[in-house]
Structure 1
């Protein structure tokens, strides 16, 4: 695993971490990652062919000792502050993709929010937006 991540890689890592945190990457979550990478402006210029490789790198990092903590720090270091809320929003999107938010996902959202120093009110707004988008 490289010592640093690009902005695109960091955002993909956030989504992969969220998908993998409950040790069950669902088809809905994987499909959602692909959709987000294809359509969000934050991924302009990103080569989708690298998505699987980046996902594997992230999984390897998570399996290492203190992998989650190291991965979160790598994400924080790779992203400019203007993309911190974007990273949180991506994590929320993946957590909501399968219509069930698990305790592990909630905990990862808390860790991400704290690591990035995000405002709780802004995070609550991002979460409410996801609830509205995924409501049936």
Structure 2
């Protein structure tokens, strides 16, 4: 899957986490959409591009594109300063369902490792997401 720009790579990492358990929940979809609409890293991004990126992602998954290849493509498309951002977005999508699947948790480990996210930074990102998505 061609990662033509950092924003596309960030959207793809969120879609990877959402799709890893073969279910795209409303909460995951809402989180992806809200992130794209409101986060500064997506300034200038046209949200109308989301369906096309989702279709490209679905085609890549259908053709059994290797997970590691996709994550490596994400890493290449992102400057190093956005690796933690990518990890944080992935964690937000996983946390949106309140009880992430084992597949999602394992995928987060892989993403963190492949993007060289410091383990302490990863733990802080995860703790923050748990706090934001806690149920009353």
Q: Which moved more, 1:104-113 or 1:58-67?
A: 58-67
Moved over 6 A (4+): none
| Secondary structure class of the residue paired with 1:74 | helix
Residue in 1 that maps onto 2:99: 100
Residue in 1 that maps onto 2:127: 128
The CA deviation at 1:22 is 0.3
Unpaired stretches in structure 2, ≥5 consecutive residues: none
TM-score scaled by structure 2?
A: 0.94
> Structure 2 CA distance, aligned partners of 1:58 and 1:132?
30
Please say if residues 5 and 75 of structure 1, whose CA atoms lie closer than 8 Å, have aligned partners that are also in contact.
no
> Structure 1 CA distance, aligned partners of 2:103 and 2:67?
12
The CA deviation at 1:62 is 2.5
Superposition pairs for residues 1-136 of structure 1, below 5 Å? 1=1, 3-136=2-135
TM-score scaled by structure 1?
A: 0.94
> Structure 1 CA distance, aligned partners of 2:62 and 2:116?
25
Q: Deviations over 1:7-48 (max 9, x none)?
A: 110000000000000000111100111111011000000010
| Secondary structure class of the residue paired with 2:126 | helix
Q: Deviations over 1:35-82 (max 9, x none)?
A: 110110000000100101101211221233343122101100000000
> Structure 1 CA distance, aligned partners of 2:134 and 2:64?
37
> Structure 1 CA distance, aligned partners of 2:13 and 2:53?
11
> Structure 1 CA distance, aligned partners of 2:24 and 2:118?
28
Aligned residues: 135
The CA deviation at 1:98 is 1.4
| Secondary structure class of the residue paired with 1:45 | coil
Unpaired stretches in structure 1, ≥5 consecutive residues: none
